[in-house]
Amino acid sequence: MAHLPRLPKKNRTNPQFFFALPDGVSVLFNSAGRDDPIFDKKIAMTTPSNLLLVLTATTTALMAGLFYAWSVSVTPGLAHVTDREYVAAMQAMNRAILNPVFFAAFMGTLFLLPVSTYMHYAQPVSARCWFLLAAMVVYAVGVFGVTIAGNVPLNNALDVFPLATASDAEVTARRLSFEGPWNSLNTIRSYAAVLAIVLVILACLSPKESVGAV
């Protein structure tokens, strides 16, 4: 006859519970107590600064995904349409993307990166803070700056183009003056967005405090 294991004495700081399974197999369930370092680490993960870091990583990843998907699918697809179809499609998409969901990620990342960097700042400066600072600069210049200074003016000029009344020659000229510069700028911000999320991921994997901090 199988014998169940003898239950250990009660431990107030780290109580243990035994459950008997078939064939005399037992499983130990360890409930974390106040002095459990693993339990403390789990609690530390839910601090405001860490929760903000997760949100920052999410919005940055969304922007990187948007530009990546556009570069590898939309741009190659539009390269095979006629000039009039191209202008019509770009006008429609540039208008459609101006919505709250897009702005929440686009402007949210611009706001969250510096706030997250500030919340992780301490002396001595940790690797996490440096990675976040680098991501903030890359995103602000390479994504937001390029978009505002380059892509938006091109979009605005294309938006007022009278496609319905323009001749085929005018449509072709309009596409030639728009497509090349816009795609080049979009490539720059795509690389910048991917680099930004890589830096944020490195920040997430880095310790919050400097190794030499006391």
Mean of pLDDT values over 35-62:
76
User: 79 pLDDT exceeds 70?
Assistant: yes
Q: What is the percent of the chain with per-residue pLDDT over 70, rounded to a whole number?
A: 76
Return d(Cα 20, Cα 17) in angstroms, integer. 10
User: 18 pLDDT exceeds 90?
Assistant: no
Mean of pLDDT values over 140-152:
98
Phi, psi of 122 (to 5 degrees): -165, 160
Tokens, residue 121: 């700042």
Residue 82's H or E segment, with its range, is: none
pLDDT given at position 35: 53
Greatest distance between any 2 Cα atoms in the chain: 95
| Higher pLDDT, residue 211 or 110 | 110
Instruction: Report yes or no: 168 and 21 within 8 Å, Cβ to Cβ.
Output: no
- Which pTM value belongs to this model? 0.77
Mean of pLDDT values over 185-202:
98
Planar angle of CA 202, 191, 186, nearest 5 degrees: 145
If you average pLDDT over every residue of the chain, what do you get? Answer: 85
Q: What is the pLDDT of residues 110-126, one digit of tens each?
A: 999 999 999 998 889 99
User: 3 pLDDT exceeds 90?
Assistant: no
The alpha carbon of residue 2 and the mean position of all alpha carbons in its chain are separated, in whole angstroms, by 55
Which of 8-12, 75-79, 88-92, 167-171 has the lowest average pLDDT?
A: 8-12
Instruction: Report yes or no: 147 and 189 within 8 Å, Cβ to Cβ.
Output: yes
User: 213 pLDDT exceeds 60?
Assistant: no
Q: Which residues contact 190 (CB under 8 A, 6 or more apart)?
A: 64, 67, 68, 70, 71
Length of the chain: 214
